[in-house]
Structure 1
Amino acid sequence: MTQPLRLDGYESALIGPRRFDLAYAVQDAGLLYARGGLYARVIDMPADKAVARGVEVEGDDGRLKDELDRLKVLPTLADGLRWARLTGGAGIVIVADDGRVNQPLNPGKIHQIAELRVFDLNDISADERRYGDPTKANYGMPEFYRVHSGGAIFTVHESRLIEISGDPLPAKVRTRGIPWEGRSVAAQAFPAVTRYLEALRLSVNILQRKQQAIYGMKGLAEMIQGGLEPVVQKRISLVDKVRGVLNTVAIDSEDEYRIEDTNISGVKDVIQEEQVGLSAEVGIPVTILFGRSPGGLNATGDADFDGYHEMVEGLQRTRATPALERIVSLIYAQGSFSSPPDSWTIQWPPLRVPTEKERADVRKTNADAEAQEMNALETAAGLGVVSEEEAREYLEAQERYGLKPKAGPDGSADYANQT
């Protein structure tokens, strides 16, 4: 008969059925993102912020907004930025009525765009067919892409796919054969998130073990050698059960029982340093990522927001704007869109709107500066440094107080030269 595996005597006696749970982190970025929390937050925040305040198209007469809403352009663009950060790239497939998706897009035959579908880089692979004319700018570029949608695979002509690349990646390390493949933010960010969460878990364990009970049992070694591990386990379990603030622990007179208090003064510093490390990996300030108040004397957090907004504006300029320009141009090319504007420009609204107090402070600062300037001008006129006429001409040139520059006898150019 097979004998059951017998563990080391001390392990059997002191631990018994109690075992330490080992946590194994999931390495797949998509599965980690699906868990939500910080894994999703570091990916979603910049993408959502980039389109949070909408977009303005100068030159539009108001009809474009309806088309942007119908095609869900901004949510699609946010998803494209999101998946590009997660996987290193994304593609928006244009579904229109000018032909099949595996045929070249013909803007002149589009009556209406049906929808826009976004796919991450893991769902896109380059076809073997490439452009072969060395005199063209697309020489060597993929002519077709294979797109995985659920359980189906379909081929898309490159003219119907609007690419959104991830972070810059050297050409020699691109392994998919896709020229716009980029670097995934998750590659470095997710391990940093895992380290931070592990630090939190260990800190909770430290709190649980802040007061460590030590039970000095007489004859422990002899009992283990005699095969009395169950007796040892039972005695330890009884002490653990009755231990508490209002309970009394009863032990043998020759046994020893004491509580050791663990110092946890450095745990907070470790957690904060892990937050700083995570912030550095993802490019999102700690004050924004964790919702913490700025630390230090006279700290306002303005520098944190300025840096974060610069990063988001970079996403808008380099990733979102090229994709949006292509989409807007195709919307205007639709046969159902009559009389499109001759010229138009995409403008992103400011990411941060000043509060009423901030606007009032700016007005007050400007008013104080103007008052000081007027006092200086009045003093200069009183001392004869400038004449009243020269002072008035200066105010007219600055268009202060509703004054406008007067055109000289030889035109505005001569007047500007005189002043």
Structure 2
Amino acid sequence: MRLDGYESALLGRRAGVSPTLARTAVELYALGGLYGRVVDLPADKAVSRGVEIEGDKDRVVANELDRLRVLPTLADSLRWSRLTGGAAIVVVANDGGTLRAPLETSRLDTIEELKVFDLDDVSPTEQRYSDPTKANFGMPEVYQVRTQASGTVNAEFYVHETRLIPVPGDPLPRRIAAIKGVPWAGRSAITRAYQTISDYSQSLRWALGILERKQQAIYGMKGLAELIQAQLEDIVQKRIALVDSARNILNTVAIDSEDDYRIEDTNVVGVRDIVNEFQIGLSAETGIPVTLLFGRSPAGQNATGDADFATFHDLVEGLQRNKASPALERLVALILAQKSVRKKLEQWAIVWPPLESPSEKEQADVRKTNADAAAAEANALNTLAGAGMISEEEGKDYLIAEGKYGLDKDAGDARAAAQYAAQA
């Protein structure tokens, strides 16, 4: 196919531009980069500092958590929950029953393994609870779980809901969640974020195009129109190619005396600001600060980034409290129900360590502040006692009640009780 004369002469042959194929969220996540970072950062941060089981002095539960790789499992479940709107942890347990049968905790010998599946792999069956007097009325009793691509032999299995620990996605209106048929189905956290990432990537491509055209060479060739009319486009292309091959910072460009050759410099002011705005937009969509997403230093005068990290920590603590903790509580309860665990815990609680440890200087500042406050309080009590407004005994009782200076509060309570008994 012969193009227009000017197009053939000045542009030459051009390769066809293939349209960009639409990709699913899972396919985009598999590409990595920002697509993976906005999903992985909060999930990995949520479990990065581990978890403590209060009351587990002998590490009975902690050892089981390590054996079952619970923290990596929780990280993956939070990851797929953010990506697809939900995830499920399937408990492979040795209780004498099949996966399709209810889990019998009274016969639970050992939890063998934990498997994580995203919401796209899990679908409810027609088998549902039918007792209208129970809270689970109408809820799916058995779920179908896909382990491989559809159409593969033995790629599916059925699991009872008591062997499945859900990790929901972001909240959805009940009416919309009911469409999916899974009671704990939620909203994906990255739908709009992925669109913003695509816009950001497009802005980078456009910025690169602007840089490529920042210095545009213009070659005014004498007799160009006549050469094209004579269908001598090859000669035109050859002359342009010769000029382009000779053009660089060290060479001299030789042209006909009646030709014209000049460089037009394009202004790129404002491009950086536009790209930065796309970065801020992505941060707003994900709740992850720009400093973490792009590895940038905090901007602005006296900027420390504390506010940015506080927002991110709120996001991570929400994942821990609302999604990871309910799943972990169920897992700990099942761990303690195992016959292989001889020592049971009467009371226990899940405690997430702080997401950020204070530096030595910050710890020293806190100790100094507390010491100054204690000194001011002691001086105030001394002044009140000296003025006769309180007695030394009353001041001591106050310090005992506050547990200051190592004074035993229980001893104070016992002495007060003894005084009351004597008076009575």
Q: Same fold (TM over 0.5)?
A: yes
Q: Give the unaligned 5+ runs of structure 1.
A: none
1:170 aligns with 2:168: no
**Match for residue 282 of structure 1 among 286, 290, 296:** 286
Partner of 2:53: 57
For residues 76 and 138 of structure 2, the distance between their equivalents in structure 1, rounded to whole angstroms, comes to: 29
Deviation per CA, 1:207-246: give whole Å up to 9, x if none.
Answer: 2222111112222222222212212111111111111100
Which residue number in structure 1 is paired with residue 30 of structure 2? 34
Shift of 1:368: 2.8
SS of residue paired to 1:91 = strand
Match of 2:349 in 1: 345
1:363 maps to what in 2? 367
Residues 1:73 and 2:70 aligned together:
yes
Root-mean-square deviation (CA), in Å? 2.3
Q: What is the match of residue 114 of structure 1?
A: 112
- Does the CA contact (< 8 Å) of 2:144 and 2:156 recur in 1? yes
Post-superposition CA distance 1:23-72 (Å, at most 9, x none):
72642111111111111000001111111111111122311111111111
Asked whether the 8 Å contact 1:189–1:282 carries over to 2, the reply is: yes
The one-letter code of the counterpart of 2:128 is R
Moved more, 157-166 or 390-399: 390-399
Partner of 1:271: 275
Deviation at 1:75, TM superposition (A): 0.6
Asked if structure 1 preserves the Cα contact closer than 8 Å seen for 2:60 and 2:343, the reply is no
Q: Distance in 2 between matches of 1:414 and 1:308?
A: 53
CA contact (8 A) 1:408 1:414 kept: no
2:6 corresponds to: 10
Paired residue for 2:417, among 408, 411, 414?
411
Aligned to 1:145: 143
Amino acid at match of 1:338: R
How does the TM-score come out when normalised to structure 1? 0.91
Q: What SS does the aligned partner of 2:159 have? A: strand
**1:158 aligns with one of 156, 161, 173:** 161
Listed one character per residue, the Cα deviations across residues 342-399 of structure 1 (whole Å, up to 9, x for unaligned) are 2221111111111111101111222233344445555556666666665555545444
Q: Distance in 2 between matches of 1:119 and 1:410?
A: 60
State the SS of the aligned residue for 1:154: strand
CA separation of 1:412/1:349 partners in 2, compared to 1, >3 Å: closer, same or farther?
A: farther
Q: Which residue of 2 aligns with 1:215?
A: 219
- For 2:44, the equivalent position in structure 1 comes to 48
- Aligned 1:219-298 pairs, distance under 5 A: 219-298=223-302
Q: Secondary structure at the match of 1:411?
A: helix
CA contact (8 A) 2:145 2:159 kept: yes
Q: Go from structure 1 to structure 2 and tell me whether the alpha carbon gap of 1:258 and 1:382 turns closer, same or farther (over 3 Å shift).
A: farther
- Other structure's SS at 1:139 match: coil
Indicate the larger mover: 102-111 or 383-392: 383-392
Q: Is the 8 A contact 2:400 2:407 kept in 1?
A: yes
Provide the C-alpha distance between the structure 2 equivalents of 1:391 and 1:81, rounded to a whole number of angstroms.
Answer: 52
TM-aligned CA distance change 1:171 to 1:245, over 3 Å: same
With normalisation by structure 2, the TM-score equals: 0.90
Distance 1:101 1:30 in 2: 27
Query: How far 1:87 sits from its partner (Å)?
Result: 0.7
* Aligned residue among 83, 87, 91 for 2:88: 91
Partner SS for 1:278: helix
Query: Is 1:100 aligned to 2:104, yes or no?
Result: no
**CA drift at 1:298:** 2.1
Q: Per the alignment, do residues 138 and 16 of structure 1 end up closer, same or farther by CA in structure 2, a change over 3 Å counting?
A: same
Give the residue type in structure 2 aligned to 1:223: L
Q: Tell me how many residue pairs correspond in the alignment.
A: 411
User: Which is worse superposed, 365-374 or 209-218?
Assistant: 365-374
Deviation (angstroms), 1:191: 1.2
Alignment CA distance shift 1:326-1:8 (3 Å): same
Note the residue ranges of structure 2 that are not aligned, 5 or more in a row: none
> C-alpha displacement at 1:8, in angstroms?
1.8
Determine if contact 2:99/2:163 at 8 Å carries over to the other structure. Answer: yes
The equivalent position to 1:315 in structure 2, one of 319, 324, 331, is 319
More moved, 174-183 vs 369-378: 369-378
Aligned AA (2:175):
K
Q: Evaluate the alpha carbon distance shift between residue 367 and residue 410 of structure 1 in structure 2; reply closer, same or farther with a 3 A threshold.
A: closer
Per-residue CA deviations over 1:68-114 (Å, capped at 9, x if unaligned) read 11111111111001001111111111111221111111111111111
Amino acid at match of 1:6: R
Q: 2:188 matched to 1:184?
A: yes
Change (3 A) 1:13 1:156: same
Q: Percent identity?
A: 60
